[in-house]
C-alpha cells in the first residue's frame, strides 16, 4: 500500500488519540504470563509483534515464526531453551536472519542449553531443544542489544536456582533492562542491578495479579513531532500515559521542549502543546538509552529547518533495517544535508523541502511513521505504508483523526 499524505486544512489540530499498549511491556508480560499463568494483562498491544509473541509462545513442537519481532525472537530463545520437553525451530523474516543473536546463544550454551544454528552461525533460524537449566551464573557482552539481557532476566525466575548475570562492556539501551526488572518486581520476584551485575531470585508461582500495560511512548513520538511542526497553540492529547513510566522513550517529554513542545500529565492522559516557535537551533543528544526515537527526532529537526548531532546510535544498524543508511537516503531525497557514521547522525539546517517525494520504508515501521509528520511541511508519498502494523496498526487511522490527508496512491 502506497499512501499520499497532505497537511490538515485547519492548521491548528486539536484532538485526542488513544494509543495501543507498549509492545515492549506487552511482550515481556506475555513471556511472564506463560511462566506464571496467574498473571492477567490489560491494555495489551495490538501490534504484529505482540500477536506473533502470543502465538509463538504456545507452540511446544515445530516451527515458530516471529516475522520481524526482535523482542519475540530474543525473548523466546531463552524461554524455549529452558522448557524441558519442548523442541522448536525459531525463525523469522529475511531481515531477522540478518539480525545477530550469537551473544545470547553463547550465553545460553554456557548455561547448558541445546541450540543449533540452521543457516549462518550467529543468526536465526535456531533449532532449540528445551532442557532443565540449573547453572546460575552467566557473563555476556552488553553493548550490542539489551534484548539479550532482558531475555535471560525474564526467564530467570523460573529456573531452580535463579540467575546471576555479569554484563561486560558499556551497557546499551539501559532503560529496557530496568523495565524488565521493574516488571519482575511488580510480580514479586526479587532482583537487583548493581554496577554490572544483575541477580534474579527463583520464584515458583505468582498469586493472581493484573498488570496494566502503559500505552507506547515510542508511538507517542510521532505526535510530538506533529505538534513540534505545527502552529503555536496546537494541542494533542494522548492516552493512556503516566508520569512515572517504565519506558525510557518517555524522555521525549524533555527532549521536545527543545522544539517548543510542552508536556502536561493529567490523570491517565498526556497533553502536548506547541508553546513557542523559538526552537533550539542546534541540538546535540546521546540516544543510546532511547534508540527508537532517533528517526522521529531526525525528521523533526529537518522539518523545522534546524540542525542536530545525534550520538549513541550504534544499535541502529541492526534494527528492522540499517536505520542510519535509511535515514540518510530518504532525508537526502527530501533535500536534507545529512551525514552519518556507524553511530552518529548530523543534519545541517536547510530551509527548502522537496515536494512529492516517495519515502521508502525498508520493512521498518518507524520509517513510515517518522516521516509522516513532514506532511505538515510538504506533500509526500509513503511506500509500503502497511509496515506500521509492527508496533502501531492504527497509525494511519489516527492520522486521519487529526484530519491529515491520507489517500491510497
Ligand atoms: O527490550 C525491548 O523491548 C527493546 C529494546 C531496544 O533494543 P536494543 O536493546 O537492541 O537497542 C529497542 O530498540 C527495541 O525496540 C525494544
Ligand atoms: C527495534 C525495534 O524493535 P525490535 O528490535 O523488537 O524488532 C523497534 O521497534 O524500533
Q: What is the 3-state secondary structure (H, E, C) of the chain?
A: CCEEEECCCCCCCEEEEECCECHHHHHHHHHHHHHCCCEEEECCCCCHHHHHHHHHCCCCEEEEECCCCHHHHHHHHHHHHCCCCCEEEEECCCHHHHCCCHHHHHHHHHCCCEEEECCCCCCCCEEEECCCCCCCEEEEECCCCHHHHHHHHHHHHHCCCCEEEEEECCCCCHHHHHHHHHHHHHCCCCEEEECCEEEECCCCCCCCEEEECCECHHHHHHHHHHHHCCCCCCEEEEECCCCCCCCHHHHHHHHHHHHCEEEEEECCEEEEEECCCCCCCEEEEECCCCHHHHHHHHHHHHHCCCEEEEECCCCHHHCCCCHHHHHHHHHHHHCCEEEECCCCEEEECCCCCCCCEEECCCCCHHHHHHHHHHHHCCCEEECCHHHHHHCCCCHHHHHHHCCCEEEEC
In tens, the pLDDT along 72-98 reads 999 999 999 999 999 999 999 999 999
pLDDT at 14 over 90: no
In tens, the pLDDT along 370-389 reads 999 999 999 999 999 999 99
Q: pTM (2 decimals)?
A: 0.98
In tens, the pLDDT along 306-332 reads 999 999 999 999 999 999 999 999 999
Percent residues over pLDDT 70 in the chain: 99
| pLDDT band at 11; cut points 50, 70, 90 | low
Instruction: From the candidates 48, 49, 292, 394, give the one annotated as an active-site residue.
Output: 292
User: Which of ligand 2's atoms lies nearest the C-alpha of 391?
Assistant: 9
Where does ligand 2 bind, in terms of residues with CB under 6 Å? 68-71, 292, 319-320, 366, 391
Confirm whether 3-21+214-408 and 23-212 share one CATH topology: yes
Question: Is 292 part of the annotated catalytic residue set?
Answer: yes
The pLDDT of residue 292:
98
In tens, the pLDDT along 123-157 reads 999 999 999 999 999 999 999 999 999 999 999 99
3-21+214-408: CATH, from 3.65.10.10, 3.40.50.20, 3.30.40.10, 3.40.1350.10: 3.65.10.10
For the segment 339-344, the average pLDDT, to the nearest whole number, is: 98
Mutation probe of ligand 1 site: the residue of 23, 24, 68, 170 with most atoms within 8 A of C-beta: 24
Fold classified for 23-212: UDP-n-acetylglucosamine1-carboxyvinyl-transferase; Chain (3.65.10)
The pLDDT of residue 147:
98
Domain boundaries, the chain: 3-21+214-408, 23-212
Amino acid at each position: 500500500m502506497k499512501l499520499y499524505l497532505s497537511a490538515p486544512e485547519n492548521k491548528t489540530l486539536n484532538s485526542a488519540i488513544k494509543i495501543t499498549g507498549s509492545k515492549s511491556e506487552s511482550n515481556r508480560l506475555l513471556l511472564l504470563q506463560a511462566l506464571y499463568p496467574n498473571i492477567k494483562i490489560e491494555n495489551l498491544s495490538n501490534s504484529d509483534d505482540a500477536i506473533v509473541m502470543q502465538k509463538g509462545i504456545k507452540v511446544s513442537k515445530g516451527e515458530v515464526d516471529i516475522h520481524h519481532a526482535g523482542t519475540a525472537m530474543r525473548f523466546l530463545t531463552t524461554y524455549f531453551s529452558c522448557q524441558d520437553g519442548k523442541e522448536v525451530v525459531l525463525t523469522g523474516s529475511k531481515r531477522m536472519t540478518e539480525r545477530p543473536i550469537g551473544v545470547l546463544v553463547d550465553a545460553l550454551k554456557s548455561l547448558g542449553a541445546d541450540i543449533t544454528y540452521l543457516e549462518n552461525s550467529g543468526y536465526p533460524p535456531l533449532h532449540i531443544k528445551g532442557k532443565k537449566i540449573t547453572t546460575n551464573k552467566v557473563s555476556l557482552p552488553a553493548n550490542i542489544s539489551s534484548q539479550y539481557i532482558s531475555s535471560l532476566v525474564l526467564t530467570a525466575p523460573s529456573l531452580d536456582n535463579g540467575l546471576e548475570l555479569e554484563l561486560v562492556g558499556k551497557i546499551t539501551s539501559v532503560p529496557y533492562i530496568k523495565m524488565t526488572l521493574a516488571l519482575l518486581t511488580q510480580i514479586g520476584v526479587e532482583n537487583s542491578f548493581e554496577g554490572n551485575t544483575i541477580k534474579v531470585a527463583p520464584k515458583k508461582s505468582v498469586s493472581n495479579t493484573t498488570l496494566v500495560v502503559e500505552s507506547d511512548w515510542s508511538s507517542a513520538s510521532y505526535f510530538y513531532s506533529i505538534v513540534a511542526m505545527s502552529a503555536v497553540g496546537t494541542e494533542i492529547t494522548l492516552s493512556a500515559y503516566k508520569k512515572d513510566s517504565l519506558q525510557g522513550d518517555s524522555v521525549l517529554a524533555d527532549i521536545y521542549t527543545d522544539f517548543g513542545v510542552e508536556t502536561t500529565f493529567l490523570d491517565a492522559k498526556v497533553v502536548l502543546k506547541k508553546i513557542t516557535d523559538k526552537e533550539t537551533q542546534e541540538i546535540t543528544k546521546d540516544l543510546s538509552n532511547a534508540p527508537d526515537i532517533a528517526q522521529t527526532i531526525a525528521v523533526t529537526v529537518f522539518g523545522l529547518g534546524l540542525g542536530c548531532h545525534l550520538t549513541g546510535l550504534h544499535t541502529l544498524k541492526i534494527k528492522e533495517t540499517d536505520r542510519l543508511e535509511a535515514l540518510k537516503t530518504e532525508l537526502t531525497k527530501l533535500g536534507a544535508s545529512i551525514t552519518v557514521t556507524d553511530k552518529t547522525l548530523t543534519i545541517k539546517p536547510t530551509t527548502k523541502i522537496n515536494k512529492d517525494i516517495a519515502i521508502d520504508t525498508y520493512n521498518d515501521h518507524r520509517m513510515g511513521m517518522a516521516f509522516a509528520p513532514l506532511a505538515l511541511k510538504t506533500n509526500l508519498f509513503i511506500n509500503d505504508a502497511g509496515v506500521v502494523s509492527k508496533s502501531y496498526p492504527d497509525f494511519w487511522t489516527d492520522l486521519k483523526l487529526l484530519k491529515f490527508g491520507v489517500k491510497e496512491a
